[in-house]
Amino acid sequence: MATAIYLEHYLDSIENLPCELQRNFTLMRDLDNRTEEKKSEIDKLADEYIANVKNLASEQRVEHLQKIQNAYSKCKEFSDDKVQLAMQTYEMVDKHIRRLDADLARFENELKEKLEVSGYESTDTRGLKKAESRGLREKRGSRGRGRKGSDEESPRKKKMKNSPDLSDALLPMQPSDVLDMPVDPNEPTYCLCHQVSYGEMIGCDNPDCPIEWFHFACVDLATKPKGKWFCPRCTQDRKKK
């Protein structure tokens, strides 16, 4: 159910993304075409100037060069507009990627908590049912074979006793596993995992902390602690002092 909710919300958020991307790409293509036209115009003006420069008066030369300069300025304007559109497109997609990263981290933490709770409940339930069935079998067998001692354990019970709990058998899931994808090299990284910012984070209260910000899951936190909080590295440094 939680998966469906996360997926539905995320699909709603990116519903208009294809149209917005198509619009930006169309505008960039149009800017490319206009730039190419201006470049052809510059080449033509330059050829005319070179061919007739000896026959032109000084004022005509200045006027002709000014036309070339204006065309170059227009090309630069088109290029700047294209760069702005490209940055806007990148940020548009990156915003949805960061939201997906945060949703994945939250969903993973919720799933881990549910698995731990259900694991403990199922272990207790199975133990109770086995105890009840064993009592019935002992009651039935006491007529012919006699009742076994209460301290005797069956192989199944020993196996269950020695086997790890479901929560222990589960591999710990870290948000860093979910975020195993290419990251913008210009985007700052944080935490002990050296990943980008996502989900819930907490800041170290040591003003000289080299890392500063940490993901909840990476420092084994479920909620924000009361009072001051220091990261594992700063805690060790404080103990040494």
Q: Which residues are annotated as a binding site?
A: 191, 193, 204, 209, 215, 218, 231, 234
Cβ neighbourhood burial of 198 (10 Å; 0-12, 13-18, 19+): buried
Alpha helices (H) in the chain, listed in sequence order: 2-13, 17-52, 58-141, 155-162, 166-169, 175-178, 232-240
Q: How many residues does the chain have?
A: 241
Q: Which amino acid is at 19?
A: C
Q: Which residues are documented as binding site for Zn(2+)?
A: 191, 193, 204, 209, 215, 218, 231, 234
Q: Which amino acid is at 235?
A: T
Taking a C-beta distance cutoff of 8 angstroms, is the pair 176, 218 a contact?
A: yes
